[in-house]
């Protein structure tokens, strides 16, 4: 049966300013957002996405199935599904949920998702004080989406930053964890700020005040990859971004990600991507 009231409350916006390939090498960028008041038993999935997304449950309840686990989610809770994970979520029959959501990706997005997930023992499900607050912010994105201007694009992504910043502040403040002062977070901050320098794992360990071997173990445990791999991914993604977005010569791009000459940068880039920087630019730059 057609429900006119429900239809008016189901709204969605998918960013149309940036190609998906360029989104993945941006620092942090919106993919989509929306509001949905679900019918009883409405289910979505199982499905894998290439971007992270967060649903904020304003009213009602439902369930999330991910990693062979099932979580019950209710009013003023949110659930996170990281990119690449297969998930299914289903509205309850007796009290179907009303939620808003935001999807995002980019080089820094994994860090934000990990920070949020580590603030909760259940990882994928977190409490929030007022899910309607996030719906209001997401509605701002949708209301601005009819304007195709660059100003609108920047304002929309500004709201997304506000949403994630507000959420991090809320969740980590009430968490028993201390991610903000953890070894891994210090290492990530150092690499994010110094990837353009010729830094080594020993430099990162010195900054965190620990032995390199201890850093490697803790970082792998908390982040799922080694610090060396994180730094490699960061340099490669930044280099890809510059190759696509600029006309800078290869030696300048190499210098921008911590290499003293074009040859060493080209060898590094080819090893990680199987393409030379010049070939990557030719294949992907429009």
Mean pLDDT across the stretch 214-242? 90
Q: What is the pLDDT of residue 8?
A: 54
Q: Rounded distance, CA 184 to CA 174, Å? A: 20
pLDDT at 5: 41
H/E/C letters for each residue in the chain?
CCCHHHHHHCEEEECCCCCHHHHCCCCCEEEEEEEEECCCCCEEEEEECCCEEEEEEEECEEEEEECCEEEEEECCEEEEECCCCEEEEEECCCCECEEEEEEEECCCHHHHHHHHHCCCCCCCEEECCCHHHHHHHHHHHHHHCCCCCHHHHHHHHHHHHHHHHHHHHHHHHCCCCCHHHCHHHHHHHHHHHHCCCCCCHHHHHHHHCCCHHHHHHHHHHHHCCCHHHHHHHHHHHHHHHHHHHCCCCHHHHHHHCCCCCHHHHHHHHHHHHCCCHHHHHHHHCC
Tell me: pLDDT of 6 over 50.
no
Q: What is the mean pLDDT of residues 90-95?
A: 97
Domain spanning 12-174: which CATH class is it, in words? mainly beta
Mean per-residue pLDDT, 69-84: 94
Mean confidence (pLDDT) of the chain: 87
pLDDT at 155: 92
Q: What is the pLDDT of residues 190-207, one digit of tens each?
A: 888 888 888 999 999 988
Q: What is the pLDDT of residue 15?
A: 83
Please say if the pLDDT value at position 229 is more than 60: yes
Higher pLDDT pick, 278 / 6: 278
Q: What would the mean pLDDT of 220-241 be, rounded to a whole number?
A: 90
Question: What whole-number distance in Å separates Cα of residue 99 and Cα of residue 32?
Answer: 14
| Domain 183-284, CATH among 1.10.3720.10, 2.30.30.140, 1.10.10.60, 3.65.10.10 | 1.10.10.60
* pLDDT score, position 24: 60
Whether the pLDDT of residue 179 is over 90: the answer is no
pLDDT for 265 beyond 70: yes
At residue 4, the pLDDT reads: 39
Where does the chain hold its CATH 1.10.10.60 domain(s)?
183-284
Mean pLDDT value across residues 98-105: 95
What is residue 174's predicted lDDT score, i.e. its pLDDT?
A: 61
How does pLDDT run across 102-136, given as a tens digit for each residue?
999 887 888 788 888 877 878 899 999 999 999 99
What residues contact 135, with CB distance under 8 A and at least 6 apart? 35, 56, 58, 100
Of 160 and 146, the structure prediction assigns the larger pLDDT to 160
User: What is the model's pLDDT at position 22?
Assistant: 61
- Estimate to the nearest angstrom the gap between the alpha carbon of 105 and the chain centroid: 4
- Residues of the chain within CATH 2.60.120.280 domain(s) are 12-174
């Amino acid at each position: 049966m057609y429900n006119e009231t429900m239809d008016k409350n189901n709204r969605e916006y998918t960013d149309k300013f940036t190609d998906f390939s360029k989104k993945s090498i941006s620092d942090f960028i919106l993919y989509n957002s929306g509001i949905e008041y679900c019918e009883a038993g409405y289910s979505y999935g199982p499905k894998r996405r290439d971007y992270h997304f967060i649903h904020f449950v304003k009213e009602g309840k439902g369930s999330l199935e991910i990693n062979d686990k099932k979580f019950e989610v209710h009013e003023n809770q949110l659930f996170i599904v990281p990119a690449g994970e297969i998930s299914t979520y289903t509205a309850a029959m007796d009290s179907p949920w009303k939620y808003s959501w935001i999807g995002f990706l980019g080089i820094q997005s994994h860090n934000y998702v990990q920070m949020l997930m580590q603030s909760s023992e259940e990882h994928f499900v977190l409490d929030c004080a007022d899910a309607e607050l996030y719906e209001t912010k997401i509605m701002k994105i949708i209301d601005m989406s009819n304007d195709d201007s660059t100003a609108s694009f920047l304002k929309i992504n500004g709201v997304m930053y506000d949403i994630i910043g507000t959420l991090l502040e809320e969740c980590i403040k009430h968490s028993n964890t201390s991610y903000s002062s953890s070894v891994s977070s210090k290492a990530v901050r150092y690499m994010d700020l110094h990837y353009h320098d010729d830094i080594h794992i020993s430099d990162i360990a010195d900054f965190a005040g620990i032995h390199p071997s201890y850093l490697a173990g803790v970082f792998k445990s908390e982040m799922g990859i080694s610090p060396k791999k994180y730094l490699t991914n960061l340099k490669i993604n930044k280099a890809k971004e510059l190759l696509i977005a600029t006309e800078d010569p290869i030696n300048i791009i190499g210098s921008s990600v911590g290499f003293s000459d074009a040859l060493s940068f080209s060898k590094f880039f080819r090893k990680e991507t199987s393409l030379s920087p010049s070939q990557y630019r030719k294949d992907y730059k429009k």
